[in-house]
């Protein structure tokens, strides 16, 4: 049986993250999956077909259409030490979320992506080593994405259909690379800036005061100490439910409430910093 082998690249720490830059090693761990596993994992169901169709428009989305009072909670930079606590809270409140994972972290925390999927969450590609893709040639962009996709497949048997660029740094080249890999580029509308480690109440208020129907909310489960994010999450969920909001993964939200032209961009403009 043929073997697909891809090599991870080394890059920078994330915008919105205080994680140190990944350290190069003499013998990097390379995600390896069989061609048959890739073929099986990348078969597109109805939801995935719709996501790929939106991604083929050459845009990033930063929110859904706003026709339904539903939001998507998203977490970047994991898996990491705080991910299990976040998963426990989401399970307790029966809330689905979307995790944009870093390939190197997937290899460091084996089985975590599979657990996220088993709990009903969705996985997105957040590159292998978290570089600014706009500063890389197309071949390196491709490597960062494929390495991470293969790590996800190796861990869970499921392929991602979502992509989020580190730093939210996108341009037509980055979006084209995502499209080439049948990925929808997803940014955000509501940013907690939890990477700066504000106090718990500040994180809560940034979500509750800025949320609108269709919001895609950015938080982090990796990239540093996320104790305040963990502590804020139950209150965020309870307050949004109190306001009548429901929760969905990014994929389910976007398919059920498609974004309009004002909810998309080709260069990331409109994304809150």
In total, how many domains does the chain have? 1
* Residue 200 included in any domain: yes
Can you tell me the mean pLDDT for 67-85?
98
Domain CATH number, residue 171: 3.20.20.370
* Residue 273 included in any domain: no
HSE-CB of 208 using CA atoms within 13 angstroms = 19
Helix axes 83-92, 227-242, angle to 10 degrees: 20
- Whether 39 is catalytic: no
- 31 pLDDT band, cuts 50/70/90, is low
- 21 pLDDT band, cuts 50/70/90, is very low
What is the C-alpha to C-alpha distance for residues 199 and 251, in angstroms, rounded to an integer? 30
- What are the φ/ψ torsions at residue 26 (nearest 5 degrees)? -65, -35
* Residue 269 included in any domain: no
Catalytic residue among 62, 121, 130, 220: 220
* Residue 267 included in any domain: no
Question: In terms of residue numbers, what domain contains 249?
Answer: 3-259
Residue 7 scores a pLDDT above 60: no
- 121 pLDDT band, cuts 50/70/90, is very high
Residue 109 scores a pLDDT above 70: yes
Please report the sign of the dihedral spanned by the C-alpha atoms of residue 75, residue 97, residue 173, residue 3: positive
Q: Which among 140, 119, 118, 144 has a CA at the least distance from the CA of 130?
A: 144
Q: CB within 8 A of 214, min separation 6: which ones?
A: 63, 64, 65, 66, 67, 68, 70, 71, 189, 253, 257, 259, 263
Model pLDDT for residues 201-235, shown as the tens digit of each residue: 999 999 999 999 999 999 999 999 999 999 999 99
* Residue 270 included in any domain: no
* Residue 271 included in any domain: no
pTM of the model as a whole: 0.85
- pLDDT attached to residue 41: 64
Percent of residues, the chain, with pLDDT higher than 70 = 84
- pLDDT attached to residue 266: 85
* Residue 268 included in any domain: no
Catalytic residue among 48, 62, 76, 121: 76
- pLDDT attached to residue 190: 86
Model pLDDT for residues 239-267, shown as the tens digit of each residue: 999 999 999 999 999 999 999 999 999 87
* Residue 25 included in any domain: yes
- Whether 220 is catalytic: yes
Percent of residues, the chain, with pLDDT higher than 90 = 78
Residue 107 scores a pLDDT above 80: yes
- pLDDT attached to residue 11: 32
Can you tell me the mean pLDDT for 172-176?
96
């Amino acid at each position: 049986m043929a073997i697909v082998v891809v090599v991870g690249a080394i890059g920078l720490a994330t915008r919105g993250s205080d994680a140190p830059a990944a350290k190069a090693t003499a013998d990097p761990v390379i995600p390896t999956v069989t061609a048959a596993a890739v073929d099986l994992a990348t078969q597109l169901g109805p939801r995935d077909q719709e996501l790929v169709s939106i991604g083929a428009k050459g845009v990033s989305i930063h929110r859904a259409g706003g026709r339904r009072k539903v939001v998507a909670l998203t977490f970047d930079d994991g898996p990491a030490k705080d991910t299990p606590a976040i998963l426990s809270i989401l399970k307790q409140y029966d809330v689905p979320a979307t995790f944009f994972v870093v390939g190197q972290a997937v290899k460091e925390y084996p089985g975590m992506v599979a657990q996220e999927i088993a709990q009903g969450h969705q996985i997105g590609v957040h590159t292998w080593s978290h570089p600014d893709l706009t500063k890389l040639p197309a071949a390196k962009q491709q490597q960062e994405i494929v390495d991470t996709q293969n790590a996800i497949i190796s861990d869970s048997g499921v392929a991602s259909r979502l992509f989020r660029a580190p730093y939210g740094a996108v341009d037509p080249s980055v979006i084209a690379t995502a499209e080439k890999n049948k990925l929808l580029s997803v940014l955000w509308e509501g940013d907690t800036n939890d990477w700066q480690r504000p106090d718990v109440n500040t994180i809560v208020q940034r979500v509750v005061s800025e949320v609108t129907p269709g919001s895609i909310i950015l938080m982090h489960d990796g990239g540093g100490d996320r104790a305040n994010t963990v502590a804020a999450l139950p209150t965020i969920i309870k307050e949004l439910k109190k306001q009548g909001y429901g929760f969905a993964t990014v994929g389910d939200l976007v398919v059920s409430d498609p974004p309009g032209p004002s909810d998309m961009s080709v260069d990331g403009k409109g994304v809150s910093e």
